[in-house]
Amino acid sequence: MVTLSVVTPMFNEREAVDQFVGRLRPALDGLGDSYEVIAVDDGSSDATVSRLMQLRVDWPQLRVVALRRNVGHQTALRAGLKAAQGDYVVSIDADLQDPPEVIGEMLAAARSEKVDVVYGVRSDRSTDTAFKRNTAGLYYWMMRRLVGPWVSDQAGDFRLMSRAVVDVLNELPEPRPVYRLVVPSLGFSSAEVGYVREERVAGETKYPLSRMIRLTFDSITGFSASPLKIATWLGLFSFLLCVVLIVTGLVAWGSGATVPGWTSLYIAVLLLGGVQLICLGLLGEYVGRIYAASQGRPAYLVAFDTASAQTAHPLSG
Ligand code: UDP
Ligand code: MG
């Protein structure tokens, strides 16, 4: 068993990998704990894998998990979490934007404060572009409203998690969990460690606008079925409106102020429209329930129970 697993997804990071390893290795060697590094190659088309295989020769703690094709940052992370065996697991980017030296602080915080999650919180993002900062600000603002106030607006995917958390994450059957939202929503005890977001050390961002939009859609549909429920409210509203309009139609007919045939057509169109929307909303409600069930998220997690001998958090001793 190892104490610490460091998971790092890499997509075309050939230019960054040497500098990354150059800083990661001394940081981990200095900890005095056993560790493993799991580099998940996310279907790179450059020489990332072959370079990793070379580095492995004199760094036995480095394990390379190569995915067959590019599946995206979050899914690559998922492969890494599955492979990790440590009591604690840290996820970190390979471009040195997350300083490896902070891992030691995270581990110390997890132990001294006896918490299950330690978030790396960006205390300074000035090295990110204004565009990145603004879009990220908008994203976190939206997610706090959708998911809950416990989503920190400066916490990305640089975090440490205990085995208990990783086990829960690995059980999730949902297709593309957005970890930065799922982890806080589980409600494990947590602490924060601040760090300065550095500039990408080499290469360029692997998160173009299209991927940021993809992440946003996954985040919304991953946490809310409310778009599905719009039809229900629309249906109810228009049905009520139809009832009023039908009454006015009948009154007009009674006073003889209509063309023959108009009233029956008018009523038929309104009724059918309202009924259809309500049925659509009803379908949405059921799909919403199927969706929630298919996500398989735990409805609750017990922190401890006085009736059971074991504490829920084996690491807290
Ligand atoms: N990454 C990945 N697969 C992808 C895109 C990115 O594994 O399809 C990795 C990338 O190699 C890096 C991390 O995810 O280690 C964060 O990506 P990046 O630094 O490009 O994102 P940014 O910091 O610009 O948001
Ligand atoms: Mg980066």
Residues contacting 169, CB < 8 A, separation 6+: 78, 81, 161, 177, 179, 182, 183
95 Cβ inside 6 Å of ligand 1 = yes
Determine which helix (DSSP H) or strand (DSSP E) holds 151, and give its type and residue range.
none
- pLDDT of 170-207, one tens digit each? 998 887 788 988 999 898 999 999 998 888 888 888 88
* pLDDT for position 297: 79
DSSP state of 223: H
Ligand 2 centroid–CA 303 distance in Å is 34
Spans of the chain below 70 pLDDT: 303-305, 309-317
206 Cβ inside 6 Å of ligand 1 = yes
Distance (Å, whole) CA 103 – CA 19: 17
Distance (Å, whole) CA 151 – CA 144: 6
156 Cβ inside 6 Å of ligand 1 = no
Ligand 2 centroid–CA 294 distance in Å is 32
* Nearest Cα to Cα of residue 33 among 68, 1, 70: 1
β-bridge partners, 221: none
pTM for the complete prediction? Answer: 0.79
* pLDDT for position 316: 47
Distance (Å, whole) CA 26 – CA 155: 25
- pLDDT of 223-233, one tens digit each? 877 777 777 78
